[in-house]
Every structure is written in C-alpha cells, then in structure tokens.
Amino acid sequence: MNVQPHVVFRGMSSTPALLDRIDEEIASLETLSTQLTSCHVAVERLNHHHRDGVARTRIELALPGEVLTVSREEEDTAASINAAFEVMGRQLRDFLKQRQDRRRM
C-alpha cells in the first residue's frame, strides 16, 4: 500500500491481537489490488442497552477515483472486524470487476 493504514479505537483499548487481525485483513485486501492509496479503520464500542455494548467497525478504502466504505456492528469486537473486512473484500472485488468490464467496452 502506498499509504500506511490508519487504525483508531474509540471507547475501548486496542490489543495486539486485534491490531494483528486488522493488519492481516489489510494485507489480504492488498493482494486484490496494488492501487490502494489509503485505508482507515475505526473500531468503536457503542453503549447501547446491552451490558457490554456493541462493537462497530468502519473501513474506508481509497483507490484512484473511488472510496469504498463499509460499516458493521456485532456483539463481539473480533466478529465486527471480521464481518467488515469480509464485506469490504467482496465490495473491492466487485468494484475491480466492474472497472475491468468498463475497460473492455
């Protein structure tokens, strides 16, 4: 990636395990495209009516001329991160396929 990823934790502490998981997921996205210019990840603990709250992960991934955004909420922080990156991977693959199809026309 041309730009270092920017990872922020709000309302909770980061852990080495969560940071490692995020790094692995970003590396996986990088294998799909070499044109990624930035990646912002925000993981936050929301204080809903649940005892422990809900975790939300928001990802913004920038490519030349496009910004892809995903946000997922789950009961568990790791599940929120996994779900958000899974959806982002699908979104990135779809975007790259559409771009490739437009170039063929």
Q: Return per-residue pLDDT of the chain as tens, 105 residues.
A: 556 899 999 999 999 999 999 999 999 999 999 889 999 999 999 875 555 679 999 999 999 989 999 999 999 999 999 999 999 999 999 999 998 887 776
Q: Is residue 22 in a domain? A: yes
Q: What is the DSSP letter of 42?
A: E
Residue with tokens 């309302």: 11
Q: Number of folded domains in the chain?
A: 1
Q: Is residue 1 in a domain? A: no
Enclosing domain of residue 70:
6-104
* Cβ count near 26 (within 10 Å): 20
Instruction: For strands 38-46 and 66-74, give the pairing.
Output: unpaired
Q: Is residue 10 in a domain? A: yes
The rounded distance, in Å, linking the Cα atoms of 23 and 25 is 5
Q: What is the pTM of this model?
A: 0.89
pLDDT of residue 51: 56
CATH of the domain at 75: 3.30.160.100
